Amino acid sequence: MSETLNDARHYSLANVDTFWAAGNPVVLPISGTPSCTLDIHPASGAITLTTPFAPPEPDVAKWRNITFKPVVSDDGDLAKLTVFVDDNLHGAYGLLTSIADELQIEGEPLAVAVASAIQRHRGMFAGKAGLSPDKEVGLFGELLVLEYLVNKIGAGPAVASWQGPLSEEHDFVFGEVHLEIKTTSGEQRRHMMHGFTQLVPLRGVPLNLVSIQLTRSNIEGGRTLAQLVSQIRAKSGGHRPKVDEALEAIGWKDDDAELYSTFWAKRSEFRAYDVDVRFPALTLARLNPVVPNIKVVSDLSYRVDVTHFQNHTLPGALAGLVEAPEIAK
């Protein structure tokens, strides 16, 4: 008889190490009700717990290394919880046996059993951080601009123009104009600015702030950030490596895609605003004469409401990106 843990319910960690080292798949039944089996699969680097499924589904989207899949079989609806070992075989095994104990001993529903067990094994399943809500909305806005450009001027020039995440340039750089993209989910066009240089024109090229307003939508009328990323990648063709590099620089991770469940749609048409001498940009050149020792200030963030500013057109192929200004009567 194998040495076991948890009052002889489970195989010992030493036995699990032996199974894993052998490299062959092994199915271990766990005695009790409801039925539970562990499928140890060294080749795929994973262990799967299979048990009867009854809604609601366990919420595992925000956790790394664990996935849930409902399966219809001849034995009825089944739940398959898979944990990817990732150099922590004992942690993966411990989590799944804890879920089995919650189901069979405590009589908890599957969703509760999974949540309780994860709380006891948080070290292995550190929560996915993902992008902050502001960064999610900001990236969505930049990708909408990139999508427009890909459709209008082609993937190569469009992807090459997207500079913001990778350099000290503005978000999109063209010979005749630079674009700084600002996106909000609010009803007003209030946008956060960061630092002293974000709104400084470079090399004498005019700078425009492009204001984007998003609103929460649904599957029929909007897209999630993950869907938009996938569509941009598909449209980028051979230029996708540059897109992926920029996404990584922003903080996008494919493993976190499920975290972005909000469907977004345009609230209004995009608008462009000249960042000229009348625009309220806080730059060192403007602050130096009035703020003593301004050079010792290292961080600066401020919000600008451009809702009632006069918008402008953009040159050339960019004209269709933004709403044309109203003509005064």
- Tens of pLDDT along 123-177? 555 555 678 889 999 999 999 999 999 999 999 999 999 987 776 789 999 999 9
Sheet containing 46-52, strands listed edge to edge, beginning at the edge strand earlier in sequence: 26-30, 36-41, 46-52, 76-84, 66-73
Give the C-alpha separation, 225 to 141, whole Å: 10
- For residue 214, give every residue at least 6 positions away whose Cβ sits within 8 Å of its Cβ, in sequence order, or none: 137, 140, 141, 183, 184, 185, 264, 265, 266, 267
Tens of pLDDT, residues 177-206: 999 999 999 999 999 998 898 999 998 999
- Mean pLDDT within 209-228: 95
Share of the chain above pLDDT 70, in %: 94
Residue-level pLDDT at 46: 93
Give the C-alpha separation, 216 to 267, whole Å: 9
CA distances from 286 to 26, 71, 169, 281, 283 (A): 70, 63, 20, 8, 5
Please, what is the Cα angle at 57 between 54 and 58, to 5 degrees? 120
- For residue 7, give every residue at least 6 positions away whose Cβ sits within 8 Å of its Cβ, in sequence order, or none: none
Tens of pLDDT, residues 298-317: 888 999 999 999 999 999 99
First to last CA, the chain: 92
pLDDT at residue 273 tops 80: yes
Mean pLDDT of the chain: 89
Residue-level pLDDT at 200: 92
Tokens 């995009």 — which residue? Answer: 270
Of the two residues 86 and 200, the one the predictor is more confident about is 200
For 190, list phi and psi in degrees, rounded to 5.
-100, 125
Residue-level pLDDT at 128: 57
- For residue 119, give every residue at least 6 positions away whose Cβ sits within 8 Å of its Cβ, in sequence order, or none: none
Structural domains present in the chain: 4-120 (3.30.1460), 133-321 (no CATH)
